[in-house]
Amino acid sequence: MQKITASYTDFYQLTMAQVYFLNQNHEDQSVFDYFFRKLPFHSGYAIFSGLEVLIDILEDFKFTSEELQFLEKQGFHKDFINYLSDFQFNGEIKSVQEGDLIFPTRPVLQVKATIIEAQIIETVVLNILNFQTLIATKASRIRLAAPHDTLIDFGMRRAQATGAYYASRAAYIGGFDATSNVKAATDFDIPVSGTMAHAFIQSYENELDAFRDFAEVHPDNCVLLIDTYDTLRSGLPNAIKVAKELKAKGHQLKAIRLDSGDLAYLSKKCRETLDKEGFENVKIAASNQLDEHVIKSLKDQNASIDVYGVGTNLVIGNPDAALDGVYKLAFADGKPRIKLSENVAKSTLPSEKQVYRIRNQENEMLGADIITKTDETHVEKMHHPFDLTKSTTYHSHILEPLLKTVMKDGKRYEKKKSLSKIKAYAAKRLNELPEEYKRFANPHIYKVGVSTQLLNTREKLRETLKK
């Protein structure tokens, strides 16, 4: 993929940055929070994804000479252009671990840097984290629908251009086993998988010859697509002929694939025939506009499907298409900052913060995260962030801090995590989440609240600004 440089930003980030620079307050220290307001897919949770990619980008986030020439043509001041020629991110980032469960309103990532640095990186932060978190969450829901089956990302051809590249990465974190995307598989060390297209079979005079040639070249990894002409009267009988020929040569047909028709009915008929012919080990794969709801329906119908190839609905995050993540100023020039709104839910939380996950003495999740000021280490009372009449008290609990330093002085703070470790961590954290939060229909609402200190800081600031 093409390297992402500092021009990968919105134009208004630079128009604001020039004002900071020319007014000589660009070195003021600031804190920005990245968070989102609404869970996608009516889900009870989201899976945080994209952090390691973001760190890689920010470590070398600079303007090229060609980009500076372009900006000069847009009328930017020469002194500002000179400043940008040496621009790099030197700030600190605290974040939850990639693969963790995240919930609305609470900070997921916190940027502490000069105001100009924090502003210029805003767009890339949102672009990388919003998309990958959306896809990882979708993938996780599909995994919940098919907990023991093989899941393969087939979405590259239907994705929004090169978005397929990061979609494959996020899908793997969310629980998929492999991808058809060769570039993503190469760069991220994801298992790669693929079968054949209808065009391959159509290019032959008859289906059987196509199957035989494919099996000859791929005797130990042969998956035959059987619905080009007639699934049960042509495709399946021809696949069984090839399976017998492979067996005679000491090989085994790996699977057949269904890509159209009544998948539940066809899969059961294919399974019945394969078993009758002695091919109980041949798997059945299915594709064609699958998502978590279709797969759950197939499961409820006892479909005989072992492998699901999921494409469009996965990589575009259907039906939500975007995570509404935002990046808001919380502290600047030595003072807490807040965005006011007539809708209290749109008001932001001021100050530098920490987020704790509340657990019981057995270290089990209690379904609540609490947002505090950074210097708070023991909190028992949690307030609803928007309804001041609601609060909850926790006794004999454990507070697990979630925001940890991942970048310091513009450099990665810890050793880079492999994608397989991030995937395993995501599975572990999801396994800790009680089942009621993982329901597809009306999942239990995970509580996110604020400490008394943070609530008082916000309310005092709201009153001051209103006056």
Instruction: Write out pLDDT tens, residues 332-347.
Output: 999 999 998 777 777 8
Cβ distance 152 to 308 under 8 Å? yes
**Cα within 13 Å of Cα(53), Cβ side:** 28
87: confidence class by pLDDT, cuts 50, 70, 90: very high
Q: Is 34 exposed, middle or buried, given 0-12, 13-18 or 19+ CB atoms closer than 10 A?
A: buried
Reported as a single tens digit per residue, the pLDDT across 179-217 is 999 999 999 999 999 999 999 999 999 999 999 999 999
Sort strands 404-408 and 92-95 into parallel, antiparallel or unpaired: antiparallel
Q: What is residue 61's predicted lDDT score, i.e. its pLDDT? A: 97
On the question of pLDDT at 455 being above 90, the answer is yes
Q: Residue type for 173, please?
A: I
- pTM, rounded to two decimals: 0.96
Q: What is residue 341's predicted lDDT score, i.e. its pLDDT? A: 77
Reported as a single tens digit per residue, the pLDDT across 367-417 is 999 999 999 988 989 999 999 899 999 988 999 999 999 999 999 999 999
CA distance 224 to 88: 52
Q: What is residue 74's predicted lDDT score, i.e. its pLDDT? A: 97
The predicted model gives 422-450 an average pLDDT of: 97
State both tokens at 242.
């090839």
Q: In the chain, pLDDT over 90 holds for what percent of residues?
A: 94
Q: What is the DSSP letter of 306?
A: -
Angle at 149 between CA 144 and CA 153, to 5 degrees: 80
Reported as a single tens digit per residue, the pLDDT across 222-259 is 999 999 999 999 999 999 999 999 999 999 999 999 99
Q: What is residue 342's predicted lDDT score, i.e. its pLDDT? A: 73
